[in-house]
Amino acid sequence: MLAVKGVTKIFGEGTTSVVALDNVSFEVNKGDFIAIMGPSGSGKSTLLNIIGGLERLTSGEVSLEGKRIDNVTEDELVDIRREKIGYVFQQYHLLPSLTALENVLLPLTFRRVKKEEKALDLLQRVGLGKRAGHKPGELSGGEQQRVAIARALISDPLLTLADEPTGNMDQKTGKEILDLFAQLNKEGRSIIMVTHNREAAERAQEIILLRDGQIVDRIKR
């Protein structure tokens, strides 16, 4: 479903350039749950951003369903992100002026589609059915992350990307979020999760270890 081939990302030029990713290649099949681990500066978030179309690569290819997405126009990339890729950020990125329900509906608003019943179902699914009318400031960190997950799923994406989804949470809340990802994966959703936490990574089917922008190990579970 996803093919990453020889992806290299270099920031800067000349003597001040930094190689964030160096010839990274791997594939993701439908229904896979993959964790990307590595120390700070290993390139894991950069890799996720390139897959999600938030950053451009320097060289290599990224293909989704057999079609390259690294060389398309910005407008095409926006459409791909809206329709095929769900993104869960560590910082949630919820709009503070909107309710939980309105935040979940936001990706569909840009497409001029409204599926309020589906959004409510998703909030119910992540345990927030009774909090749909609350704004982010009225929700805990774990609840905000659940809203962000529901928002990522509203478009039924082919691939869900999660960047340190439990990084700002206590152990109990983090476990609840990981349980939710595991359940979504059991239902056939494809997930790539970046984490520095080994315990979190072990919830995935495969762990890809990055160091200095290169894959140094792949651990099947």
Write the pLDDT tens digit of every residue in 86-111: 999 888 889 999 999 999 998 887 66
Distances (CA, A) of 131 to 26, 92, 127, 134, 146: 39, 16, 9, 5, 11
Strands 206-211 and 33-37: parallel
* pLDDT value, residue 169: 80
Helix/strand/coil percent split, the chain, to 5: 35, 30, 35
163-214 pLDDT tens trace: 988 887 888 888 888 998 999 999 999 999 999 888 899 999 999 999 999 9
**What are the pLDDT digits (tens) for 6-44?**
999 999 988 889 999 999 999 999 999 999 999 888 999
- What's the whole-number average pLDDT of the chain? 91
Strand order in the sheet with 59-64: 18-28, 2-11, 59-64, 67-68
* For the chain, percent of residues with pLDDT exceeding 90: 67
Q: What letter would DSSP give residue 68?
A: E
- Which domains does the chain carry? 30-56+73-220 (3.40.50.300)
Tell me, what's the pLDDT at 14?
83
Closest CA to 47 of 17, 70, 73: 70
Closest alpha carbon to 195 in 219, 170, 220, 161: 161
What sign has the CA pseudo-torsion 76, 190, 134, 115? positive
For the record, the structure tokens of 133 come out as: 């009318």
CA distances from 153 to 10, 41, 45 (A): 31, 29, 20
